[in-house]
Structure 1
Amino acid sequence: MTDPVFFRPVRGIALQEVAALAGAPIPEGIDPSRMVLDVAPLESAGPDDLSYMDNARYVAQLGATRAGVVLVAERYAARVGAGSVALVCKDPHRAYAGVLAALYPEAMRPGSFFGASGLAPGAFVHPEARIEQGAIIDPGAVIGAGAEVGRGSVIGATSVVGPGVRIGRDCSVAPGVVIQHALLGNRVIIHPGVRVGQDGFGFAMGASHLKLPQIGRVIIQDDVEIGANTTVDRGATRDTMIGEGTKIDNLVQIAHNVVIGRHCVIVSQVGIAGSATIEDYVVIGGQVGVIGHVRVGAGSQIAATSNVNSDVPPGSIWGGTPARPVKEWFREIAALKKLASRDRNK
């Protein structure tokens, strides 16, 4: 059996371009036209490779690396081996991301699995749908009546775009996605298995549970990325919204009427109940539960596995179940540990 490599660098990149991407000066006496051909971890990199380091636990590998170029924070620059060019920058990880994107642009978002250009054989596009020139529709994809797909967007195999849905330009909808009752901006990335715009979970409870029709939409703004098998319910009477630049991991549940602000990060297995509001620049760790109708203030951080059942002030760091300010949470944990230790020693 062959051992395929799915991603290869599309080009080499000159050191001067790397330095510009990193915002780093080129050390005196180093040829700025020197080429970087690939990236690799510190321990396996060779003379034509670029690596990076921003964590103290990798100091030994930094000194021993054979990488041609290393992106490194100033505090570790003196540890770089003599055979490597050290590009000192403020945020090596972010700089590395920029170089990686330049070398491997195809890895930035899902493309056509069929290698299609335009409308592929076996795609099903309703006569009343509008597909801009330059969009790609893979085999088995279904585009409903009145739907619109913008230039440069890719709709993957077996994905379904419902009637009236709007998908902007340069979006990527991976295979096996269903999007209904939704409006998407530009450069949105939707990974496999995502469901957008289905019913929210709404019932008038009683001896029998009366279903409440969900008549809102989902609004997803520019540059949002949604991970595999995440679900985003449409609004009940107002729209579910996800703000520009927000990044959502795999296996997240976003319920009806939820409003998520701009540039948030929501990690895997988070559940956000109906009508919660997540303001701008919030980070929510894995497996957090957020109850309905609460507000998480701008710039807040919620520790993994926490349960948010009340409003979180802006700029806060909370954790625990129920979630509370992290210093308070840590004090309680320390007190319980001390109490348990005392009981064991009786």
Structure 2
Amino acid sequence: MIDPRFYKKGKALTLQEVADRTGATLKSKTRKDNLVQGAAPLHLATPDDVTFLSSPKYTGELTASNALACFVTETYEAIAPPGMAVLVCDDPHLAYATIASSLVDARALWSGVSDDARIDPSAKLATGVVVAPGAVIAAGVEIGSGSIIGANAVISVGTTIGEACFIGNNVSISHSLIGDRVILHAGVCIGQDGFGFVTDKARHKKIVQLGRVIIQDDVEIGANTTVDRGAADDTVIGAGTKIDNQVHIGHNCRIGRHCLLVGQVGLAGSVTIEDFCVLGGRVAVMEHVTIGKGAQIAGASGITKDIPPGAVYAGFPAKPIGDWRREIAMVTRLGRDSRSQAKNRGKRIAKE
């Protein structure tokens, strides 16, 4: 169920249009021109909604659902309740995500350029840019058409932001070049000094940070994440990469295309992450490490050396996940055996 205070329904689609847009096969006893007006999970869906089944864990919810239609794999087609339209596809979750964005829109918070924003006369704002109250846009900034600048956001001198971007409330951006369709959620800080110091016997001497941050197209960065600018080279985030809340990216890091970084990941300076990598929550990566293309790192792991392409690592220090699992199993057995031995010794002592 969509709460109309926060979301509004988009244009309704016929069942056949939904099938066509997602590549699903429509199998229905209802008319193909029945209208789908919203999207919701199985247990909340109404007779106007489309839903999806992504796991056998939820087959009970499917049989009880009131949805008009459901994306399923061929395996679960037969268990849909009578009267529910079935949309058969290989990836129900992906199909649902594809169509939900057409059926539901977030309500616009602002429109136009607020009189309470502070915009330097030399800044260039393209057609359709929205600027919320309290935002500050400095000299030489360029913002592409259709982008939204949230309340109290600060866009510093010379920054460029592409088309159709969303810059959330209280975001701070400096020394940065940002592509199209980039989303920066509330509280993100981009382009501040990296943590660079040279230590002598008496003090820590700050190293001036002379690089930039380059964020390519279709990147999304979660709330309160920080991305330091480069010390001399640039910090780069590749196209299509998605970064969760409360992640830290140190100076000179280079993150490839279509990577996933989950909450509380921390990257020290000059880390390289190649394309299509996945880092689970709270992964820590030492400086100057390279993580190869397509590698996956389990949550809470510590990366102290280069990771080969396509590898799956876990633990601290991280190692191939098969090795890590065997070590955990061995330690568990040792602990169980030692407890058993101690118990047996206690029994012998009691008898004596």
| Letter aligned with residue 291 of structure 1 | M
Relative to structure 1, is the Cα distance of residues 144 and 28 closer, same or farther in structure 2, using a 3 angstrom cutoff?
closer
Q: How does 1:61-80 map to 2 (within 5 A)?
A: 61-80=61-80
Please state how far the C-alpha of 1:319 moved relative to its aligned partner.
0.7
Between the aligned partners of 2:302 and 2:193, the Cα distance in structure 1 is 24
Between the aligned partners of 1:47 and 1:151, the Cα distance in structure 2 is 38
Between the aligned partners of 2:5 and 2:139, the Cα distance in structure 1 is 39
Please state how far the C-alpha of 1:59 moved relative to its aligned partner.
1.3
Q: How does 1:104-183 map to 2 (within 5 A)?
A: 104-106=104-106, 113=109, 115-117=110-112, 119-183=113-177
User: For residues 187-245 of structure 1, what are the alpha-carbon distances to aligned partners after superposition, in whole Å with 9 as ceiling and x for unaligned?
Assistant: 11110000000000000012200000010000000000000000000000100000000
| Letter aligned with residue 290 of structure 1 | V
User: For residues 33-59 of structure 1, what are the alpha-carbon distances to aligned partners after superposition, in whole Å with 9 as ceiling and x for unaligned?
Assistant: 111122222223232221110111111
Contact 1:255 1:272 in 2 (8 A): yes
Question: What is residue 345 of structure 2 aligned with on the other side?
Answer: none
Q: How does 1:183-198 map to 2 (within 5 A)?
A: 183-198=177-192
Contact 2:28 2:86 in 1 (8 A): no
* 3-state secondary structure, aligned to 2:313: strand
Between the aligned partners of 1:303 and 1:125, the Cα distance in structure 2 is 44
Please state how far the C-alpha of 1:291 moved relative to its aligned partner.
0.7
2:304 to 309, 314, 319: 309
* 3-state secondary structure, aligned to 1:241: strand
Question: What is residue 224 of structure 1 aligned with on the other side?
Answer: 219
Contact 2:138 2:158 in 1 (8 A): yes
Q: How does 1:183-332 map to 2 (within 5 A)?
A: 183-207=177-201, 208-332=203-327
Relative to structure 1, is the Cα distance of residues 123 and 25 closer, same or farther in structure 2, using a 3 angstrom cutoff?
same
Question: What is residue 31 of structure 1 aligned with on the other side?
Answer: 31
Contact 1:319 1:329 in 2 (8 A): yes
Between the aligned partners of 1:43 and 1:127, the Cα distance in structure 2 is 52
* 3-state secondary structure, aligned to 2:18: helix
Contact 2:6 2:106 in 1 (8 A): no
Contact 1:66 1:83 in 2 (8 A): no
Question: What is residue 47 of structure 2 aligned with on the other side?
Answer: 47
Aligned length: 338
Please state how far the C-alpha of 1:129 moved relative to its aligned partner.
1.2
Question: What is residue 5 of structure 1 aligned with on the other side?
Answer: 5
| Letter aligned with residue 189 of structure 2 | R
Contact 2:38 2:104 in 1 (8 A): no
- The runs of at least 4 aligned residues of structure 1 exceeding 4 Å deviation read none
Unmatched tracts of structure 2, length 5 or more = 342-352
* 3-state secondary structure, aligned to 2:25: coil
Question: What is residue 95 of structure 1 aligned with on the other side?
Answer: 95
Residue identity (%): 47
Please state how far the C-alpha of 1:30 moved relative to its aligned partner.
4.1
Contact 2:73 2:88 in 1 (8 A): yes
Between the aligned partners of 1:170 and 1:41, the Cα distance in structure 2 is 28
Between the aligned partners of 1:321 and 1:175, the Cα distance in structure 2 is 36
Question: What is residue 350 of structure 2 aligned with on the other side?
Answer: none
Deviates more, 1:84-93 or 1:22-31: 22-31
Contact 2:28 2:84 in 1 (8 A): no
1:14 is the counterpart of 2:44: no
Contact 1:38 1:49 in 2 (8 A): yes
User: For residues 159-185 of structure 1, what are the alpha-carbon distances to aligned partners after superposition, in whole Å with 9 as ceiling and x for unaligned?
Assistant: 010000011111110110000000000
* 3-state secondary structure, aligned to 1:269: coil
Relative to structure 1, is the Cα distance of residues 120 and 304 closer, same or farther in structure 2, using a 3 angstrom cutoff?
same
RMSD: 1.4
Between the aligned partners of 1:18 and 1:4, the Cα distance in structure 2 is 22
Between the aligned partners of 1:247 and 1:103, the Cα distance in structure 2 is 23
Contact 1:22 1:92 in 2 (8 A): no
Deviates more, 1:203-212 or 1:231-240: 203-212
User: For residues 126-148 of structure 1, what are the alpha-carbon distances to aligned partners after superposition, in whole Å with 9 as ceiling and x for unaligned?
Assistant: 11111112211111111111111
| Letter aligned with residue 178 of structure 1 | S
Contact 2:241 2:258 in 1 (8 A): yes
Between the aligned partners of 2:145 and 2:272, the Cα distance in structure 1 is 32
Between the aligned partners of 2:241 and 2:184, the Cα distance in structure 1 is 12
Contact 2:80 2:86 in 1 (8 A): yes
